[in-house]
Amino acid sequence: MHFNRGGRSGRAPILCLLEKNGGTLSQQELGMFFELKPGSLSEILSKLETAGLIYRTRGQQDRRQLTVTLTEAGAEAARQEAEIRQRFRSNAFSTLTPEEQETLAGLLERVRAHWEGLDG
């Protein structure tokens, strides 16, 4: 089984992060979260904007500052993506008992915490 929904910094994760944060983040915050160079992020956001899923506005105080906001279509796409990912997780882990799922979650959390410490 293969599951590819845009990787860590593709369309879907950006839409979902915006949805989780009330529909609006600065372009700088998105770049920092996904560890993307400004040019790479701008390219992704341009595609999302062309698709009518987001819009960008310049800051009133600092015109260099860009705010990224979900459109209604973008919010709906984010909700659909979250449902798809939840169904995938449910199907992927359905072979494990609830106790095994809990054990696996704990082990993965330990690996994540260790990895984060190495990334420093």
Q: Which residues contact 81 (CB under 8 A, 6 or more apart)?
A: 5, 12, 15, 16
Q: How confident is the model at residue 87 (pLDDT cuts 50, 70, 90)?
A: very high
Please report, rounded to a whole number, the percentage of residues in the chain having pLDDT higher than 90. 74
Give how many domains the chain has, as a whole number. Answer: 1
Domain assignment present for 18: yes
CATH of the domain at 77: 1.10.10.10
Question: Strands, DSSP E only, in the chain?
Answer: 24-26, 54-58, 66-70
pTM of structure:
0.75
Residue 67 sits in which domain range?
11-95
Domain assignment present for 76: yes
d(CA 34, CA 29) in angstroms, rounded, equals: 9
Alpha helices in the chain (DSSP H): 11-20, 27-34, 38-50, 72-93, 98-119
Domain assignment present for 106: no
pLDDT in tens, 17-71: 999 999 999 999 999 999 999 999 999 999 999 999 999 999 888 888 999 999 9
